[in-house]
Amino acid sequence: MIQASAYLNSQLRDLSVHSEYERRLRVLIEHCRRNLPSVDEERIRRAFQVAYWAHRDDRRASGELYISHPLEVALIAARDIRFDDTTVIAALLHDTVEDTDLSLGLIESEFGAEVANITDGVTKIDQVFSTRALGRAENVRKLMLSMASDIRVILVKFADRLHNMRTLDSLPHEKQLKIAADTLDLFAPLAHRFGLHEVKSELEDLSLKYLESDAYKAIADGLKAKRRQRERFVEGFINPIRRELDEAGFEFEIYGRPKSIYSIFRKMRKQEKELDEIYDLFAIRVILHSEGKKGREDCWRVYSILTDLYQPLPERFRDFISVAKSNGYQSLHTTVIGSEGKPVEIQIRTAEMHEIAERGVAAHWKYKDEMGGPSGDGAPVVDTSGRDARVDAMYEWVRDLLENPRANDADEFVKEFQLNLYDEEIYVFTPRGDLMTLPRGATPVDFAFQIHTQVGFNCIGAKVNNKMVPLSYVLTSGDQVEVLTSKKQSPNPDWMKFVVTHKARSRIRHWINEKRRNAVDAGRETLERKMRRAKVEIDEQLINRASSRLKFPTSQQLFYEIGAGLYDADEFVRFIKRGAEKEAEEEAASADSTARLEIEQFAADAQEIGKTALIIDGEKHTDMAVKYAPCCNPIPGDDVFGYISKTGSIKIHRVTCKNAPNLLLDHAERIIPVEWSRQKDVHFVAALRIVGEDRVGIVSDITTVISKSLKTNIRSITVESEDGLFEGTLVIFVSDLKQLRRIIQRLARLDGIYGVYRFEE
């Protein structure tokens, strides 16, 4: 490792920088001057020189000099995130410790402890996500720990991931899928939670570009084709608004902004509609140049003017100014009917609100000149006055998720982490009128734990709007909630069925686990005492085999049921004395024989399913066990990947399969590239969901089109009808995606058919 600053100085004196990168450095510094509260240009230049020299022999997968990456990451930090110059410097240096000979000690001596800590934090995140040695939950915890130490670590990582996504074309396809799935599953929702709207939207769009390339291209092309028509509509819509606001004396900006491709894609999927059927492809944004109380009042005045001009839809009105979102977002949202009868969304906010909406938590955080939190551990000191109290709430969110993360709760931890990223919010009140924010679907038990853990533990009932309600009652915005408690009450395991907040779930689960551990210890002690009295040797292997023979999933479950009084320890001792070991061995031999037969049958079945239609890892294979995953039913033409199972067989999944993100993220080492060959006369199972009018002869029309007109074999068809509508599932044999799309288009033209969609189990 290079640690001698004198040696570094001698190298930098003779450093020759390409003119293109000198120009890009000037652009970076100009953005720093424009967007940051203060700029130490010399430190930024020094950081660039160190990074340029450290990466002098490195190139990216695209072939360009590696320095282009840290320069672009720093530019995103300066132009889009706009936090401080320390973040920009750390962005320039973020890959030097991991990829070059520079040591962390040298970074600290040259640029200070803050830059070194941020660089170290980003390096640790990169190491965790570049190797799959650790489990997914551990990856998430490492990410959270980095946030808890210094928020700028995750800000630099957002910038790093965004530039990597922008340059993903140069990587192999399987790496593109893995990185895109990782981004959509974790980094985009995390950016949303931190209020970085622009970063979040671009991460989502770029992820969709690789995970759903056909859908992405179709939406992008559709938006481009109607761009001029949309611009004419927007201009005609905002001209009357502009005149009214000018006459009222407002200083403002107004413009139309297209919605992100990913948000349109989600809406199409959710509503099961085509692009032409989605009307709200853009939103009108009004930004007022007034501040404080006057700014909030002006937002309402503008809302009044707008609703005088256009008919509002009351059910689509949202007031995020009086009650801001948990990430600090404030704005008035309304939807009005435009001149052509189309609904148009309008957002009204001040310039200050707009900055928070775009930059989120980065706009809230304020660091003092000297870092070093209460414990002296380098944590940021936060100005908690006014709106920056939200910073404490963000810290509390991170600490709460990290609290007591037990290894055996790894999957639950990840699920709750993701739930807390994208949750919709409701606003409820205590009996004293204090406001509390909870995720949609929250219950009085969630409310109780939000007040205090002990209140949650002792909760026996609740009143909502002065009426008694069940503890499973789902709260709505505006409810006033009163919790009834008793010191004799303790958590009920059934609460886990309806609580939604991480705090409630983690505290209840911790209590249940603690109670279970006590029962396990008591059960083990009771069993060992009974075995000693019966003069039976206390042998762990014997206990394990006997508990398995009695259908206990583990010996721990046996101990628990004994300790909880659900199973008699004497009965277990008698079972052992009757020779359970011999019986277990005989059954094990039989089970092994059955398992071998099942494995052989599985391999035979898999090889029968058109495996010659695939090119696996660049080659055709006829001796591999191949199975097409029933969770997504891939067919030729689908974008697919292969997953090597523990038995050595290969399961083929669609990239859009609901299980794809978990496989790509958790088992990257088992993923192999798969392509379709030009194999003929191989047929695959595909399923369609058909919705339409329940009329006489509709099923006959469907089967006629499939069997006679399109010469396609039907495997099965099921139909259910209710209130004049029918919904059917059609399973057919097709040769490829092109044939399936032709079938969908033909069925969609039948009289009374409302929609035909590809169906996944």
Dmax (CA) of the chain? 98
Q: What's the count of helices (H) and strands (E) in the chain, helices before strands?
A: 30, 21
Rounded Cα distance between 649 and 182, Å, is 25
DSSP assigned state of 615: E
- Please answer whether residues 481 and 430 qualify as being in contact, where contact means their C-beta atoms are separated by less than 8 angstroms: yes
Burial grade of 700 (CB within 10 A; 0-12, 13-18, 19 or more): exposed
- DSSP H or E stretch at residue 698: helix 698-704
- Please answer whether residues 610 and 633 qualify as being in contact, where contact means their C-beta atoms are separated by less than 8 angstroms: no
* List 40, 99, 727, 760, catalytic entry: 99
Tell me the DSSP string of 168-179: GGGS-HHHHHHH
Q: Please, what sign has the CA dihedral across residues 228, 231, 235, 236?
A: positive
Query: Nearest-CA neighbor of 615 among 593, 594, 636?
Result: 636
What is the token pair recorded at 668?
A: 């990257």
CA gyration radius, the chain = 31
Whether 221 is catalytic is no
Rounded Cα distance between 585 and 589, Å, is 6
Chain length of the chain: 761
Q: Beta-carbon neighbour count of residue 257 at 10 Å?
A: 12
Rounded Cα distance between 465 and 467, Å, is 6
What is the token pair recorded at 553?
A: 């999933």
The distance of Cα 220 from the centroid of its chain, to the nearest Å, equals: 23
Rounded Cα distance between 396 and 147, Å, is 12
Rounded Cα distance between 136 and 146, Å, is 16
The distance of Cα 601 from the centroid of its chain, to the nearest Å, equals: 38
* Sheet with 481-485: strands ordered across: 467-469, 459-464, 481-485
- Please answer whether residues 129 and 179 qualify as being in contact, where contact means their C-beta atoms are separated by less than 8 angstroms: no
Q: Please, what sign has the CA dihedral across residues 191, 195, 200, 202?
A: negative
Rounded Cα distance between 506 and 292, Å, is 39
- Please answer whether residues 343 and 280 qualify as being in contact, where contact means their C-beta atoms are separated by less than 8 angstroms: yes
- Please answer whether residues 331 and 288 qualify as being in contact, where contact means their C-beta atoms are separated by less than 8 angstroms: no
Q: Please, what sign has the CA dihedral across residues 476, 481, 484, 487?
A: positive
* List 30, 40, 98, 251, catalytic entry: 98
Contacts of 640 (CB under 8 A, 6+ apart): 634, 652, 653, 654, 655, 674, 676
Angle, CA 739 vertex, CA 736 and CA 745 arms, to 5°? 140
The distance of Cα 732 from the centroid of its chain, to the nearest Å, equals: 34
Which regions of 244-394 does DSSP assign to beta strands (E)?
A: 252-258, 282-288, 311-312, 318-319, 332-337, 343-350
The angle that helices 68-76 and 19-35 make with each other, rounded to 10 degrees, is 10
Query: Nearest-CA neighbor of 517 among 408, 386, 400, 639?
Result: 408
Burial 616-627 (b: 16+ CB within 10 A, else e): beeeeeeebbbb
Three-class SS state of 43: helix
Q: Please, what sign has the CA dihedral across residues 135, 60, 185, 331?
A: positive
Whether 400 is catalytic is no
Three-class SS state of 678: coil
Rounded Cα distance between 172 and 193, Å, is 30
| Catalytic machinery residues | 98-99
